[in-house]
Every structure is written in C-alpha cells, then in structure tokens.
Amino acid sequence: MCRRDPSGCGAGSRHRGDGLMSILRLTGVTREVGTFVILDRIDAAMALGDRIGLVGPNGAGKTTLMRIAAGLDEPDRGAVARKRGLSLGMLAQEAHLDERFMAASDLRAAIRHGAANLERMTDELAALEHAGRVTEPHYAELQHRFEVLGGYTLDQRVDAALSGLGFSTKDVVRPPSSLSGGEQTRAALARLVIADPDLLFLDEPTNHLDLGALEWLEEHLRRRTGSLLVASHDRAFLDATVTRVWELRDRRLTVFRGDYSAYHRQRAERDARAAKDGESQATSIAREQELVQRYRSHRKFAKMHEHEARLERLQAEAVEAPRSRRKLRLPSAGLVGGGPSRSGEIVLRADDLVVGYLPPPGPAGTPVEVARAPFLAARRGERIGIVGPNGAGKTTLLRTIAGDLPPLDGSVTFGSGVQLGYLAQLRAAAIPGATVLDALLEAVPVTPAEGRAYLARFLFRGDDVFKEVRLLSGGERSRLALALLGITSSNLLLLDEPTNHLDVDAREAIEAFLAESPATILVVSHDRRFLETICERLWVVDGGLIAAFDGRYRAWRDAVVNGWTVAAAVELDRQRLHPETRRTNGHRAGDSTAGETGIASVTGPVRGTAPEVPTTATRATAATPAASRLRRLSKDAYRRQREAIDAELTRLGLRKSHLELSMGDPAVRANFIELRRITSELADVETALAAAEDAWLVLEERAP
C-alpha cells in the first residue's frame, strides 16, 4: 500500500526540540476495544529521515499504532497530523487483498506498478513524443523530473529488488495469484522498495526472508533518505536499520535514542533505577505510616499531622515501579520421565546422505532430490545452526533426521542413548474445539491441575488454557508447540524456526534455556542474533549441497565474503574422507581401531548420485570382500573396545574445548610461542578425533 496524504500538520510544527520539521505527530492517541485500553494517550513525533524501531511484547498494540499512524484506522481519542503531501507506504501482511497487485500480468509488472508516478510520466512522455511535441518546454521539464526521480533506472531497480528479495528469473514471469503467502509478502515489500515513499511503515518485514534477503533489505533501508517506522522482533535487523526506538509497554510509549542494543541497555538501566527508587520510596512510606500510628497512639496530634502531611507528599510523588512482565520459563526436565539421559559422544552422523521427497505412487513418479551431504557429524552437547537460502533444503534435512522423510540415499546414524525431540515449523492442524489444555492432556496422561501448572511456564495462565487451539495467535501456537516438545526429556533437540512469532522476551528465554541445556541441538533459524548467541557451528545448505562450517554466524559471513563456498567445503571433506590411499582392500585405513556402539541407522534406497561423491551402494560393493573377512567380536570384547573409544572421544573432546578456550585468552594471544604451541596441539587433537570417529564406524561392522 502506497499513497499520498493530503492532510497537513502545519508548516511550523517542530519536534524533539531539535529544529527538525515533523512529518508525523501523534497527540493523545487512545485506542480501546470494549473496556480494554490498548493505547493510552500516546504522544510521539517523527522528522524527515528518522529511522525508528517500534518494539514491545506481543499484544502490546504495535500493529494498531502503525495502522493509526498510517491513516488506515482512526483513534478513539486524540489526533494524528501528517505533513501536507506526505507519501506513505505500508507493508500489507495480506498482499492478496490488494486487487491491483493481484491483477498484474506477472510478478515483474506487479512490482513495477509500485512506481506508478514514473509509469504515468513514461506514458505522458511517449504521448508527447508521438505528437511531435519534444521541443516544447513542458516536455523538457517532464523529462528532467523523470530523470531526477530515477525513471531511466527503474527497470534495473526492479530487477535488483526482485533478485535481492530472493526471486529467481523463473519467478518474475509468474502471475501474482500463483505465489504463496510468503512470496506475496516479499513481493509487496519489493513493490514498496520501488515506490520509495517519504514515510515507510514495515510491520514484521523480516518474516519470510532468508539471510541473503535480510542483508539486502538492511542495506537498502540504510541507504534510503526517507523516514522509516518498523515493528520487528529481529534484534539484529533493528540494530542495522534504526537510530531511535519507540517502546510500547503497559499501553504507553517511551522514546529511546540509538539502535536496539542501545535501547536494551537504557531500558535495563531505567528499570533498575525505577526499581531502586520505588523500593526506597516504599520504605519511606512505610516509615511515615509507622510514625503516624505511633504519634496517634501517644496522642501527640501535632506530630501526627506533621507526618501525615509528609506521607501524603510521598504518596503523591510515588514512583511507579516497573511491572514485572510475564516471562517464558522453560523447564529443565520433562513433564514426565525426569531429566534426559546421557547420550554417546557421537550423537548423529550422516554419510553420503541425499534428502528429498519420494514420488507419489504411480509408474511415472521420480524422486525429487533437494540436497546431499557427503559427511555430517554432531558430538554430544554441540549446538549447530542450519542455515541457507529459502528453499535450499534446511527443513527437508531436519525432517529427514527426525524420521519424517526417508533418505533417498545414504544413511543417518544415531549414537547410543539418543532421545530425540522435534519441533516442526509447520504444526499439525488443530482439532476443532480442542483447547490448549486438551492438546496437552491428549499428549500426556496427567491431571488437569498438573497440566495447568506446566502450561503456566509457557504463559498459558488462568482462562488462557481454555482457548481453542485453532484461534491462537502465531506466538501462542509457538509457545504451545514448545510446551508439547518439553513433555518428555530429550538429549537431541531438532528445532525448526523455534523463535517464529515470538517476541524478544520469549526469544531471550529460549536462548537462555538452550545455552544452559546439556542437549545436542540442531536448529534451523533466520534469527541472526539467536544463531550467533547459541550456535558454535553451522551446517550450510546451498546449491544442492550441505557442508559443515566450524565457526559462528558472523565468522561464516566473513568467510563467505572471503570466498568460502559450500561446494569447496564439500570437496575438501571428500578429499579428507575418501582419498584413494585410504581405500586399501575395500575399507578405510585404521579399520583395526575400535569405535562406539549402540546405534540406530536409517538407510535410504540406492539412487543416482553425483560422480564425485561415492554412493552407499558403491561403498557397500567395494567393501564386501573386506567385510566378509572382518571377524565379529564377542560381547565382552565389543563392550571393552566400545568403552575404550568412548573414553578416548570424551578425553579428546574435553581437551579440544580446553585448547579452544585457551586460544581466546588475551594473554595467550599476546604470546606468539604459546599460541603456536596451542595451535599445533589443537591440530593434533582434531586429527585424533577424526581417527576415533572412523574407528567408531568400524566397530559397528564388528558388533556381535
């Protein structure tokens, strides 16, 4: 939606006392629904060029405030004034309701219509040229305005917006009606980028954007000269795009200077001061009340009245302490079954894995390959983020590991004692009439009182537990999914976009829980702050391949800038894992070493694979003669060798962690000799770990 507002807020209006012209001013804006007050006497103003982030918990009224500011809704009381002639644009969450957008012949035309004024100028220039009036002053003036407004670069900007927001060349010729809801939202955002209004309203613009599109949008918003009001729970996005923050809390609005990180510090300091002042004032009030009672009992009325006057002044000047907000409290143990057990050192391993979708029943069906992973491994306690563009196969990989999808080729192998918990991105459809409490009681046999106490940790309190699941908001659905995930304890958590629809407080609660959890974690997420905080390693999915990256999110982005690619990483893994010198007699060198046991393996049917990556079938054929000569171990020998490898893997893992911590010590980094020694030892430990992992696989071939 993009339009021009004819109303005016007066040429002389100022705001913030800094001499800048206000383009938008809210005065005493109040919004009520029945007896419930959503916005209470909101006062705020924006100047040209302001980039403001609107933050607050879910349900605080952010969308309501934005719609009132944009003129889509009217306040119950108060006034909204806008600069005369101000052009406004708002990201519509329901792009399919825009008839002009849906009526466009193809996606490219729909995006181009965002610059409707330039299209009108193009038609007028063409008409003047056709009439032979190119020598007239009006034509020269119109052509100059067209050039200044970027008319001659419009098509290039349209292509850049489509590409930056993740649309392929095949997508641009599709009609808008054929797009998914997420694609329509991205297209609406691209059209707003092309429209480039004076004041841009964005309500959760990072939904449906992958990491590449997020970075492109951030760069565009930093470059544009117009004003911006954006509501978002994406802390990294706010840090990159805003210079002030409006916080909606307890129906009132407070203004903070700086980006989100600066706001977070200021808010914490302000809350701490308010809490301290409130505590001090409460102590003073209690003291005065005690003195009033004492002098009354002693019938010293002059003194009593003196302290009564002090008490009235203190109560009149009372500082309202910040309300303690309800916070998500994730339990460390499951609702049933107690805490998770300890898994083996190697929790998960994927070899020559191909993920995708099997064909529907029928003679003409063929499997759809999405991505392949020559080698992936997760050790106990690791927190691994799965990243990559939309549609690359992140969810497909997670669903294959979870067992929702069979592998098309290769294998997924779990270590001993693994207890798996899976949080899917797409939740199952709600049973009509089922309440939040019904959903829990259906999943686990507990009493209603126990169920309500457990749900209270996930902010379902009081009558909230009787809400119908089908009527829950996105954030409430996410909280319910987390509650159901935590019914039984898990030591391997597979999480697909766990922070979707959650506000900042809930995201930080999940981060704190995962940071302290001993579980091994695989998580798909587009929340860069979440990834940087939680995940020390990444699995990157792109271009039909999956490779591991040993580093956090920022280190990966820096590596990509310096030329790191998934294809190159996969090739390095292939050379490390499958060199010709290690294929003597049909099995790997070091097969005499023992490994860990207690595995559960999921192996897919043999499918065609790329020549450079050996398939499961190829490896099995080559290994058959050697495998037939491998002698099965007795149970006692198998147990002894397994315990030895377990102990070695644990020792090496702890030593690696210790060395990595030492490398971060400033004293070590300042000592070149010590740093070189630690680096050399770390390389030796990593080599030994790789050998122990190979030994683990070989031991399974000799299991009794």
Q: Which amino acid is at 683?
A: A
- The interaxial angle of helices 436-443 and 448-456, nearest 10 deg, is 110
Q: Are 102 and 176 in contact (CB under 8 A)?
A: yes
Percent of the chain with pLDDT over 70: 82
Q: Quote the pLDDT of residue 325.
A: 59
Q: Quote the pLDDT of residue 485.
A: 81
Higher pLDDT, 630 or 531: 531
Q: Is the pLDDT of residue 597 over 60?
A: no
CA dist 309 → 314, 360, 468 (Å): 9, 83, 53
Question: What are 559's two structure tokens?
Answer: 């590596």
Other CB atoms within 10 Å distance of the CB of residue 449: 8
Read off the pTM. 0.69
Q: Which of 271, 224, 277 is nearest to 247 (CA)?
A: 271
Query: Which of 30-44, 93-107, 143-157, 588-602 shows the lowest mean pLDDT across its residues?
Result: 588-602
**Edge-to-edge strand list for the sheet holding 492-496:** 420-423, 492-496, 520-524, 383-387, 537-542, 545-549, 368-379, 346-357, 409-414, 600-603
Q: Is the pLDDT of residue 618 over 60?
A: no
Q: Where are the alpha helices (DSSP H) in 349-411?
A: 394-402
Strongest mean pLDDT among 85-94, 287-296, 448-457, 550-559: 550-559
Higher pLDDT, 342 or 223: 223
Higher pLDDT, 194 or 321: 194
- Strands 199-203 and 227-231 come out as parallel
DSSP string, 601-633: EEEPPP----TTS--HHHHHHHHHHHHHHSPPP
Q: Is the pLDDT of residue 197 over 70?
A: yes
Q: Are 353 and 409 in contact (CB under 8 A)?
A: yes
Q: Are 425 and 496 in contact (CB under 8 A)?
A: yes
- Mean per-residue pLDDT for 125-139? 86
Question: What are 248's two structure tokens?
Answer: 């909606």
Q: 322 falls in which pLDDT band (50, 70, 90)?
A: low
- Mean per-residue pLDDT for 132-161? 87
Higher pLDDT, 36 or 670: 36
Q: 312 falls in which pLDDT band (50, 70, 90)?
A: confident
Other CB atoms within 10 Å distance of the CB of residue 254: 16
C-alpha to C-alpha distance for 549 and 620, rounded to whole angstroms: 28
Q: Which of 209, 220, 233 is nearest to 54 (CA)?
A: 233
Query: Which of 163-167, 254-258, 295-299, 469-473 shows the lowest mean pLDDT across its residues?
Result: 469-473
Q: Provide the residue ranges of all domains of the chain, joining segments of one domain with +.
A: 2-258, 265-316, 346-577
**What would the pLDDT profile of 372-418 be if each residue is shown by its tens digit?**
998 899 998 899 999 998 888 999 999 999 988 999 999 898 988 88
- Mean per-residue pLDDT for 564-591? 65
CATH T-level fold of 346-577: Rossmann fold (3.40.50)
Q: Is the pLDDT of residue 321 over 60?
A: no
CATH node for 2-258: 3.40.50.300
Q: Which of 154, 13, 190, 160 is nearest to 86 (CA)?
A: 13
Q: Is the pLDDT of residue 695 over 80?
A: no
Q: Quote the pLDDT of residue 588.
A: 40
Query: Which of 18-22, 192-196, 456-460, 540-544 shows the lowest mean pLDDT across its residues?
Result: 18-22
Q: Where are the alpha helices (DSSP H) in 298-411?
A: 301-316, 394-402
Q: Is the pLDDT of residue 343 over 60?
A: yes
C-alpha to C-alpha distance for 30 and 523, rounded to whole angstroms: 41
Q: Is the pLDDT of residue 577 over 70?
A: no
**What would the pLDDT profile of 414-440 be if each residue is shown by its tens digit?**
988 888 888 887 655 555 668 888 888
Cβ-based neighbours of 479, under 8 Å, separated by 6 or more = 328, 458, 459, 460, 502, 506
C-alpha to C-alpha distance for 616 and 373, rounded to whole angstroms: 12
- Mean per-residue pLDDT for 626-630? 44
Q: Are 407 and 353 in contact (CB under 8 A)?
A: yes
Phi-psi region of 554 (alpha: psi -120 to 50; beta: other; left: phi over 0): alpha
C-alpha to C-alpha distance for 336 and 490, rounded to whole angstroms: 11
**What would the pLDDT profile of 61-111 be if each residue is shown by its tens digit?**
888 999 999 998 899 999 999 998 888 988 855 544 567 778 888 898 889
C-alpha to C-alpha distance for 522 and 376, rounded to whole angstroms: 12
Higher pLDDT, 637 or 297: 297
Q: Work out the mean pLDDT of the chain and round it to a whole number.
A: 80
Q: Is the pLDDT of residue 371 over 70?
A: yes
Strongest mean pLDDT among 527-536, 585-594, 689-698: 527-536
C-alpha to C-alpha distance for 9 and 180, rounded to whole angstroms: 40
Q: Quote the pLDDT of residue 542.
A: 92
Other CB atoms within 10 Å distance of the CB of residue 136: 12
Q: Is the pLDDT of residue 12 over 60?
A: no
- Mean per-residue pLDDT for 203-221? 87
- Mean per-residue pLDDT for 684-701? 77
